[in-house]
Amino acid sequence: MLASWFKSAALGLMVAFLPLAQASAGDVPKPVIQKGEGDKCVEDTDYMRRNHMKVLNHHRDKTVHEGVRTKQHSLKGCIDCHASPNASGQKTVLGKDHFCQSCHAYAAVSVDCFQCHSSKPAGNAASQSIMPAQSTQGGAAVPRPQGHARLPLINSTLTVKGVAGVIK
């Protein structure tokens, strides 16, 4: 009798706190997953969601050390299909609502690829300014990273409030 009272009390408590739990989960916006170019990804979507990092790491070592240049699992291939235009029309995978950063921000996993790799597709190379003299917009055009330099430059468009768990 007492046990069943405890049970119902516990259930009542859970029900009472459920809306609260839902409210806090709702603070984190769902990632915006934009459809890439082409009919389908190089692997099943479910497989890629869980294993893209393993696939990329494997291909990375094959390319750097053995000179294997297949397109299927290359990071360049990912960017070519999944980059979408930002406000200034530059196709990229970084920035709020763009393919890589949107999901990584939601999952609170830092993406290190773009400390070295270009986030823009190869076809847009001409629009990239590689010489500092060419960037005439002034110092503000290139945002300086804040905080520890090895952390990803994920803070330019996202706020800490909007993206829970992302280290600023």
Partner 1 sequence: MNQFEQYRRRFIGGALAATGAVMAPGVMLMQVAHSRAPEEGVSSKHRWGLLIDTSKCATGCNDCVTACNTENGLSGKTGLQDPQWIRKVELTNNNTGASHSLPMMCQHCEHPPCVDVCPTGASFKRADGIVLVDRHICIGCRYCMMACPYKARSLVHEDLNDTQLAHMPRGKGCVESCTLCMHKVDRGDGTTACAEACPEKAIVFGDLNDPSCEIAQRLATYASKEVRADLGLNTGVRYTGI
- Summarize as ranges the residues that interact with partner 1 (CB under 8 A): 60, 62, 64-71, 76, 79, 94, 114-122, 125, 128-132, 142-145, 149-150, 153
Strand partners, 91: 85
- Smallest distance from the beta carbon of 84 to partner 1, in angstroms? 16
* Among the listed residues 118, 114, 120, 122, the one whose alpha carbon sits nearest the alpha carbon of residue 145: 114
Closer CB to partner 1, residue 106 or residue 114?
114
Closer CB to partner 1, residue 29 or residue 77?
77
Helix 45-66 to helix 75-82 angle, to the nearest 10 degrees?
130
- Smallest distance from the beta carbon of 154 to partner 1, in angstroms? 12
Strand segments, DSSP code E, in 28-161 are 84-85, 91-92
- Smallest distance from the beta carbon of 134 to partner 1, in angstroms? 10
DSSP annotation of 86: -
For residue 113, the Cα-to-chain-centroid distance in whole angstroms is 10
Closer CB to partner 1, residue 79 or residue 163?
79
Distances (CA, A) of 163 to 31, 83, 145, 159: 10, 21, 18, 6
Separation between Cα atoms, residue 45 and residue 58, nearest integer Å: 18
Closer CB to partner 1, residue 3 or residue 140?
140
Instruction: Report residue 73 as tokens.
Output: 């699992």
Closer CB to partner 1, residue 45 or residue 128?
128
SS3 110: coil
